Structure 1
Amino acid sequence: MPTLLSFGHGYSARALARRLEGWRVIGTTRSEEKAEALRAEGVGALIWPGEGDVPVEEATHLLSSVSPGPEGDPVLAAFGSRIAAHAPRLRWAGYLSTIGVYGDREGGWVDEESELRPTTDRGRARVRAEEAWRAVPGLPLHVFRLAGIYGPGRGPFEKVRRGTARRIVKPGQVFGRIHREDIASALLASIRAPDPGAIYNLSDDEPAPPQDVIAEAARLLGVPVPPEVPFEEADLSPMARSFYAESKRVRNDRMRALMGPLAFPTYREGLAALLAEEKGQAR
């Protein structure tokens, strides 16, 4: 039986696992509450870091969604030697990274061959983590650089309904986004057609200003569009402000060649689907 070992089995990995019919899925998480939720989905959930062992040697496929820490990648720190020893028996390995590795391009385009020029500590840590994963000998590694993730439970509608959504405007600012289900589709397509060493940008077809997304959410809800707030006047946390420090457009040709057309090629289709799902659940 194919077995996926998923480190940091969270939002995106759970969407992939739901598509793996006939597979055994082992996923790590940090709390018993999250572990119970995963077990309800049929996942063999393990709390890590914790006292129990993680059965690296039972995996046929491996996925890591764990963010690097100040001292490097925690998965490799804990299991690097075991993963290296088991690498020849793995059919596929995936590492979920971020488009933050490209840094700020002032709205210009990047692709998988673009120079990595991270401008934030998070981006620099991701570059080091990618290098560390690629350095594992014999590992059939695939790197996926994700844009901003959204999907069920991660949409702007609740803030728009509450009147707390803000249309923060920074001229020239654009973000890439990717729906959770399109991430799952790309990962599944890669598992079915492995290409060790490949790197994929996972982003939709239309990088867009963040204020346009909020405006579309308001339009779909039939409520007034929140007023614009100049970036210089916005009261943002350091984390939120750091996202506005980078603007780029991300090419996804390699992703589309792998999986075909996106289910949600722009935020418009994605938001409409999220709202339809919400309404269906409310009935």
Structure 2
Amino acid sequence: MEKHLLSFGHGYSARALTPLLLAQGFAITGTTRSVEKRSALKATGITPVIWPGGDLSEALKRATHLLISAGPSESGDPVLADLRDQITVHAPNLEWVGYLSTTGVYGDTGGDWVDEASPLSPATKRGQMRVAAEAAWQSVPGLPLHIFRLAGIYGPGRGPFSKVRAGTARRIIKAGQVFSRIHVEDIAQVLAASIARPNPGAIYNLCDDDPAPPQDVIAHAAELLGLPLPPEVDFDTAEMTPMARSFYAESKRVRNELIKRELGVKLRYADYRSGLASLLASERASSKC
């Protein structure tokens, strides 16, 4: 049987996975809300479908793999709200289901370490919705579900360099604040490794080996660019959007041993320094083309 991935909310992480699976002979159907994005997705080698609103019955019948990147709302997980019955009844060939969650489900530990067995105590509404969505997917009987809790994602087009160059970057200082991160290429390789070695019921943290204060990342980006350090701004007095401020409600260090031990993953970018250096090298190489 042809391997067929149906990807809900085929965004940044799913697009990084796409070439790895296409090289293995997968067919991929990816959903998008945007008519404008449909042509761009098709150019990557997938079959794009507008959803909600499009007919996914044939894609579900063919699907051997599901990837859920679409985020939940206060009313719950959008995929289950729309398609739970179709998934349970009309998707008979599923070998692997991946749900992309967030390390925000662990909440604030004051900078202490968490792993996949740590209690879930989200400090934000977003984290609470993710906990509910995880539980909703886990409640679907017989589903070969794998949950991936992603740290802060960076990669091509999502690095700090543009703000540093523009002079708009700031080093927000909050005592004891630390975040974990993950390069999008490492997300893709972990997902591909799980697809190759499925373990229904598994939960994996996706992060690098070096949790760090956010101001250190901005400072290192400036150093790589040979530009002055962006100014330090105290968190309490910093002008920030409510969304940006909410990220500072949680401080924790996330362990990633399970992806290495169970999936055999060796991170391409084990810390933000190697990840940023690679991004900058790619930017400079592209500018010369």
**Do both share a fold (TM > 0.5)?**
yes
Contact 1:88–1:139 (CA<8 Å) still a contact in 2?
Answer: no
- The answer to whether the Cα contact below 8 Å between 2:10 and 2:69 also exists between their aligned partners in 1 is yes
Report if the CA contact (8 A) 2:180-2:207 is conserved: yes
The residue identity in structure 2 corresponding to 1:205 is D
1:19 aligned counterpart, secondary structure: helix
In the aligned structure 2, how far is the partner of 1:248 from the partner of 1:189? 26
Match of residue 34 from structure 2: 31
Q: Deviations over 1:210-257 (max 9, x none)?
A: 000000000000011112111111101110000001000000000122
| Residue 84 (structure 2) pairs with residue 83 (structure 1) | no
1:7 maps to: 8
Aligned to 2:48: 45
The one-letter code matched in structure 2 to 1:48 is: W
Q: Which of residues 266, 269, 274 in structure 1 aligns to 2:279?
A: 274
Q: Is it true that 1:120 corresponds to 2:124 in the alignment? A: yes
Aligned pair in 2 of structure 1 residues 281, 185: CA closer, same or farther (>3 Å)?
A: same
Q: What's the TM-score, normalizing by structure 2?
A: 0.96
- CA contact under 8 A between 1:72 and 1:129: conserved in structure 2? yes
Structure 2: 5+ residue stretches without partners: none
Aligned to 1:154: 158
Preserved CA contact (<8 Å) 1:87 1:139: no
SS for the counterpart of 2:49 is strand
Backbone CA RMSD of aligned residues: 1.0
Q: What is the Cα deviation at residue 277 of structure 1? A: 0.3
The aligned runs of 1:249-260 (5 Å cut-off) are 249-257=253-261, 258-260=263-265
Query: Which one of 127, 150, 165 corresponds to residue 169 of structure 2?
Result: 165
Cα distance, 1:52 vs. partner? 3.5
Q: Is the 8 A contact 1:87 1:137 kept in 2?
A: no
- Of 57, 63, 67 in structure 2, the residue corresponding to residue 63 of structure 1 is 67
Q: Identity over the aligned pairs, expressed in percent? A: 63
Q: 1:246 aligns with which of 228, 232, 250?
A: 250
Normalising to structure 1: TM-score of the pair?
0.98
User: Where do 1:67-216 residues align within 5 Å?
Assistant: 67-86=71-90, 88-216=92-220
What is the distance in 2 between the residues matched to 1:168 and 1:39? Answer: 40
SS class of match (1:95): strand
SS at match of 1:215: helix
How big is the shift at 1:119? 1.2
- How many residues are aligned here? 283
Task: Give SS of 2:20's match.
Answer: coil
Structure 1 runs not aligned, ≥5 long: none
3-state SS of the aligned residue for 2:276? helix
**In 2, distance between residues paired with 1:212 and 1:184?**
26
How far the C-alpha of 1:51 sits from its partner, in A, is 4.0
